[in-house]
Amino acid sequence: MSGLVYISPANVFWRICKRGSTEEFESIPYVSKLLNAYFWIYYGLIKPDSLLVATVNMFGAVVEIIFLTIFLLFAPPRMKVNLSSSSSSSSSSCLNPFNLLFQIRTAILVVVLDVVFPAAAILCTHFLLHGDTRIDVAGLLCVAFSMVAYASPLSAIKTLLLTKSVEYMPFLLSFILFLNGGVWTAYALLAKDLFVGLPNGTGFFLGTLQLILYAIYWKPKSSRRIVDDLEHQDKREPLIKSSEQLQQDTHTRTTMVS
């Protein structure tokens, strides 16, 4: 189940590669999941008999690194070229500043949260703490960032509320997080393990919230297409017809009557 959490956004990244743009998708869920994987790898390596935890999250870290590499490659739409025709038929190009800022923000998130911070936290924990204290602190870090990873798909809520569409809310990721949180919460209740129960119970609740929002704003593709076509038609049809169009309409009606 944990492996499915990591590969669940594969359809999103297939779409990004096909379209050559990240569009309105957020990088935060993938940044936070990679950060979470780092801490679980460390926890699995220092706690006895927890190699499976480390192995699963090593797989997850590799997957998330691939996803984030794709995201960085396609973060801004390609350079916007503005062609302006003048008497000299000259053309000029410029880089959209909003796209550049989006790319810089994504790169900063990756460097700070997925390189600098985890390296500093793990090094401090490893060399300043010892024995059970080190394991407990590593476990607390895992709990904290598991909760962040569970909440990360909610970063798409702003786009969802603005567009009234779930197109950029990764349903499969939310659904797998919901299932994963539920399974591990049940295990934690049976095993009476607070470290496992706290983040996964929170994840189960947040996953439920995400699915509720998805159900509220979901619309069939056919209805979305009809609405888009009507809006496009309204934009193309002028409010006031020209004299040539009026004459053509009159001629058509006359022909039909005769």
User: Using one digit for the tens of pLDDT, what is the confidence trace for 155-189?
Assistant: 667 677 777 777 767 777 778 888 888 888 888 88
- Nearest alpha-carbon partner for 121 in 30, 41, 3, 201: 41
Q: Which residue type occupies 228?
A: D
Whether 224 is in a domain gets the answer no
pLDDT band at 199 (very low <50, low <70, confident <90, very high): confident
pLDDT of residue 251: 57
- Indicate if the pLDDT at residue 26 is higher than 60: yes
116: three-class secondary structure by DSSP: helix
Q: Environment class of residue 146 by beta-carbon count within 10 Å: exposed (0-12), middle (13-18) or buried (19+)?
A: buried
Whether 202 is in a domain gets the answer no
pLDDT of residue 96: 53
164: left (phi over 0), alpha (psi -120 to 50) or beta: left
Tell me the C-alpha distance between 88 and 79, whole Å.
24
Tell me which residue range forms the domain holding 162: 2-79+94-168
Task: Report which listed range, 1-15, 59-73, 232-246, is most confident.
Answer: 59-73
For residue range 98-125, list pLDDT tens digits in order.
556 666 777 888 888 889 999 999 999 9
9: three-class secondary structure by DSSP: coil
Tell me the C-alpha distance between 75 and 239, whole Å.
38
pLDDT band at 143 (very low <50, low <70, confident <90, very high): confident
How many CA atoms does the CB half-sphere of 76 hold within 13 Å? 15
Task: Report which listed range, 34-48, 97-111, 142-156, is most confident.
Answer: 34-48
- The whole-chain average pLDDT of the chain stands at 75
pLDDT band at 235 (very low <50, low <70, confident <90, very high): very low
Whether 185 is in a domain gets the answer no
Whether 55 is in a domain gets the answer yes
Instruction: Count the domains in the chain.
Output: 1
pTM over 0.85: no
Whether 126 is in a domain gets the answer yes
Of 62-71, 201-210, 238-247, the one with minimum mean pLDDT is 238-247
Whether 257 is in a domain gets the answer no
Residue 243 in tokens: 């004299």
Of 102-116, 134-148, 233-247, the one with minimum mean pLDDT is 233-247
Query: Considering just the CA atoms, what is the radius of gyration of the chain in Å?
Result: 26
Whether 140 is in a domain gets the answer yes
For residue range 62-85, list pLDDT tens digits in order.
999 999 888 888 876 543 333 333
- Nearest alpha-carbon partner for 144 in 40, 52, 27, 26: 40
Whether 45 is in a domain gets the answer yes
- Nearest alpha-carbon partner for 203 in 220, 225, 222, 178: 178
